[in-house]
Every structure is written in structure tokens, then in C-alpha cells.
Structure 1
Amino acid sequence: MEDPAAATADAANSLLEIRVRLPECDPEIWRLLELAGSLSLGQVHEVLQAAFGWEDTHLHRFTAGDPFARLDPVDGEIIEPPQWLPAEWCEEPTDLAEEDCSPDQLLAAGAGGAFYEYDFGDSWLHRLEVVTRRPRNDTNPPARLVDGARRGALEDSGGFPGYGEILDVLADPSHPDHADVADWVAEVTGTGDPYDPDVLDVAAVNRALDACFRAA
């Protein structure tokens, strides 16, 4: 039988390569991340915020399964699956503290995959999937962006449908709302430069991740 303490140590010393995607976006927005197995889900939350350009102004949660999947009753009762939240937000019996759970534990609970939801109004759902797991050495940073596609969606843009509509309006200078939407995007992004949804600056994300862990 495997020693539980040894298994925990192996997980803590592992380096997880995880693919994270926004499955409802087309074309898909995705990131390939390397994460230390010793991180807490609270730290993974910070990584995902930096990787997708979110501003951490809304609630979030981790779940082992799709939080929007239909639940079948068990003995006539609907049992809510567990969710991982910051400890101060935990109120329900199925709420678990994200500070006490590692990405390895979450992904094991989800059989290799899990979900992160950001902003319960816009419901930005991220699918996390393990690609590889290998030993971590001292040269590996706690978190690193390896690759990805497209910049993150705009904060407060109305979820997947709203963001898609904004991109359509921006791409059509003849649209009656084009000027208003362009002004709103400039305000959100803090720049008047043309908004390109296909650009991802991997180096800038990794600088943000380095700063995040230096400040910790």
C-alpha cells in the first residue's frame, strides 16, 4: 500500500502542466501553465487571474465537476457537489477552503479535470486539464505560462455572449454602436490602441506571475 505521507510529498514536489481553456469562446481562449504541486488553490486563483488578464473584482470558485451540469437526485434528494472557496466565504456544508487544497488534490477529485468559475454574474467558466506531471526542481518557478492563444476576455463584458457581441461591433465600423463600444473598451483596457483579441503577450504574463509570487 502506498504511504499517504510519501504520496503527499510527491504531489508537493511535482510540476503540473495544466491546460486551461474557456470552452464557450470560439475561437477558443486557452493557456498552458506549469504549476508547482505545492501551490494552494488560493494561489492558483491568482495565477489564473494573471494568465487571463482578469482584475480579481468578482467572486470565484473551484469545482471538481461542471458546476452547471444537471444533478440527478440520490434517494430523492439533490446533493450539491463540493466547491472550493476562500475560507471566509465558506457557508454551506459542501463549501471547502481553497487555502487547504492543492491543484493536484482538486484534479484528482475531478479525475484529471476540474473547473474554475470567475464572476458569478458573467460566469466565466475555465476548464482545467492535466497534460503532464513530473518532478519539480529548484529552477522551476511556482507558476509559468508556457503557451496559449488569444488575450483574455474583457472584464464585465456580459459573459461569453456579451463578449462575442462586443467583438462583432468592434469589427464593424459601420455599426451604430461602434463608437460607444470602442470608447468603453478603451476605458476598460486603459488604452486607446485598437483592441486585438488575438494577441497574447506570454512574456508580460510571466512578468505578472513573477511579481505575484515576489509579493507573496
Structure 2
Amino acid sequence: MKKLSDGMTANPGEWVLDVRVGLVDSVPEIWRLLELQASLTLGQVHRILQVAFGWEDAHLHRFTDSDPFARLRPMDGEIPDTLQWMPQDWCEEPTDLPEEDCSLGQLLVRGSGAAFYEYDFGDSWLHHIEMVSRRPADEATPPARLTDGARRGPLEDSGGLSGYESILDALADPTHPDHTGYSEWVTAVKNSDEPFDPDLLDIAEVNRTLGGI
């Protein structure tokens, strides 16, 4: 199985996918544009998305080939189960598939060029993954690279999008009754007393981290 490593180059016939990943329902949208080798396993893609959005890999996750929360049309009187890919050790149901055995390219083909990644089943951070384009890789192609995006990822355990937005509102208003409490909480979570900037995205730093995986 291919592993992410420094200096890894593409194999002959490898495809590079331009993949746009957006946090569903975020306004303004929190999104990333990534160059990813199609042969990366979903386990590897999970690690890449954790870095790209600033997550800390502290919760469960899964990939699906369709929106796991969409109201599905019943088939033969029954609502079909959504297939989901997760670490092999977590697979318990017939619809659970090992993420180690599926590549990004295979998942996107199943979903007609799109798929979903959910992180933290409590806060339910749902990411929409869409293939924008693809091209043959050359020998210098890294396994993963962030090329564009907007806004930093939400803070862990901030209560989903509604909770995160409430925190941002309180941080932006010194007269807000929760301003001091949330300011102290953010300082503890980030282990830094620097002002929290929800619009900050350091692409170069993300790529340095990806290069070290």
C-alpha cells in the first residue's frame, strides 16, 4: 500500500485530481482546493483533510458516496442504506467498508465525481468533496498539495456550525455577555493568546505540514 512520505513521486499512469472540498452550509464558505493523487487511500485522504482544515483527529470520521443526511427516495418500499468507508477496526455493519481498501479515485467514480467526508459525529462537520479536473502526474508531483482555499477551519468541539458562529459573534463584540468566557476558551483551545482570526488560512504552512506526513 502506498504511503505518504517526503520525496514520494508519482507512479507511471498516476492521475492527479484537482479536488474542491467545502464545509457544507458554512457561510461564508470554508473551502479548500487540493491536488491529490487518485491512488491515495481514503485513510490517507482523511489525514490530508485533517491538516487542510486544521482538525486535530480527535473524533470519529467516515466517507460516503452520497449525502448521508439527504432524504433518500425509497426503493421497493425501503430507504436504501448509505455506504460508508471508515477505518477497518470500526466496521461493524454490512454497509461499513474499510477506508484502507478504497482509493480516492474509486470513491469519486462511485459518486459521479463527488463524495462526502464527515468528521466528528457530534458536531457533524460535513465536507463535500468534488473532483474539478484530472491530469496525468509527472515525476515531481507530490501526493498532496493545497493550492487555494478560504477561511480557517472551525474550532474543535465548538458545537457545529451554529455553535461556531455564536462563538465568532461573541468574540467580535466586546460587549457580548459571553465575550470574556469564549475568549478564554479559545485561548485554551489554541494554546495561544493571539487574536483569533476566522479568515486566516496559511497555505504555505499547510503544505509544509502535508510534506511531513
TM > 0.5: yes
Distance in 1 (CA, whole Å) between partners of 2:83 and 2:24 is 22
Task: Give the secondary-structure state (helix, strand or coil) at the position aligned to 1:187.
Answer: helix
Q: Give the counterpart letter for 1:126 in structure 2.
A: H
Distance in 2 (CA, whole Å) between partners of 1:154 and 1:75 is 42
Q: Which residue of 2 aligns with 1:113?
A: 114
Q: Give the counterpart letter for 2:162 in structure 1.
A: P
Q: Give the counterpart letter for 2:45 in structure 1.
A: V
- The Cα shift of 1:190 comes to 1.2
Q: Which residue of 2 aligns with 1:95?
A: 96
5 Å matches for 1:77-88?
77-88=78-89
Q: Which residue of 2 aligns with 1:63?
A: 64
Structure with the largest fraction of helix: 1
Structure 1: gaps spanning 5 or more residues: 1-9
After superposition, the C-alpha distances for 1:82-133 in whole angstroms (9 at most, x for unaligned) are: 1111111111111111111111111111111110000000000000011110
In 1, are the aligned partners of 2:32 and 2:149 still within 8 Å (CA)?
A: yes
Distance in 1 (CA, whole Å) between partners of 2:117 and 2:149 is 17
Distance in 2 (CA, whole Å) between partners of 1:23 and 1:80 is 21
Structure 2: gaps spanning 5 or more residues: 1-10
- The Cα shift of 1:11 comes to 10
Distance in 1 (CA, whole Å) between partners of 2:212 and 2:31 is 22
- Aligned-pair identity in percent equals 63
Aligned length, in residue pairs: 203
Q: Give the counterpart letter for 1:114 in structure 2.
A: A
Distance in 2 (CA, whole Å) between partners of 1:140 and 1:151 is 26
- The Cα shift of 1:73 comes to 2.2
After superposition, the C-alpha distances for 1:139-190 in whole angstroms (9 at most, x for unaligned) are: 1111000011011111000001000000000000001110110000111111
Q: Which residue of 2 aligns with 1:195?
A: 196
Q: Which residue of 2 aligns with 1:54?
A: 55
Q: Which residue of 1 aligns with 2:129?
A: 128
Task: Give the secondary-structure state (helix, strand or coil) at the position aligned to 2:198.
Answer: coil
In 2, are the aligned partners of 1:21 and 1:30 still within 8 Å (CA)?
A: yes
User: Which stretch of the first structure deviates more once superposed, 40-49 or 21-30?
Assistant: 21-30
Q: Which residue of 2 aligns with 1:178?
A: 179
Distance in 2 (CA, whole Å) between partners of 1:184 and 1:90 is 35
- The Cα shift of 1:43 comes to 0.1
Distance in 2 (CA, whole Å) between partners of 1:201 and 1:134 is 26
- The Cα shift of 1:12 comes to 6.4
Task: Give the secondary-structure state (helix, strand or coil) at the position aligned to 2:212.
Answer: helix
Task: Give the secondary-structure state (helix, strand or coil) at the position aligned to 1:133.
Answer: strand
Q: Which residue of 2 aligns with 1:37?
A: 38
Q: When the two structures are superposed, what TM-score results if normalisation uses the length of structure 1?
A: 0.91
Q: When the two structures are superposed, what TM-score results if normalisation uses the length of structure 2?
A: 0.93
Distance in 1 (CA, whole Å) between partners of 2:94 and 2:73 is 19
Distance in 2 (CA, whole Å) between partners of 1:119 and 1:89 is 14
- The Cα shift of 1:76 comes to 1.9
- The Cα shift of 1:72 comes to 2.5
Q: Which runs of 4+ in 1 moved over 3 A?
A: none
Task: Give the secondary-structure state (helix, strand or coil) at the position aligned to 1:209.
Answer: helix
Distance in 2 (CA, whole Å) between partners of 1:78 and 1:131 is 30
In 2, are the aligned partners of 1:11 and 1:104 still within 8 Å (CA)?
A: no
5 Å matches for 1:134-149?
134-149=135-150
- The Cα shift of 1:77 comes to 2.0
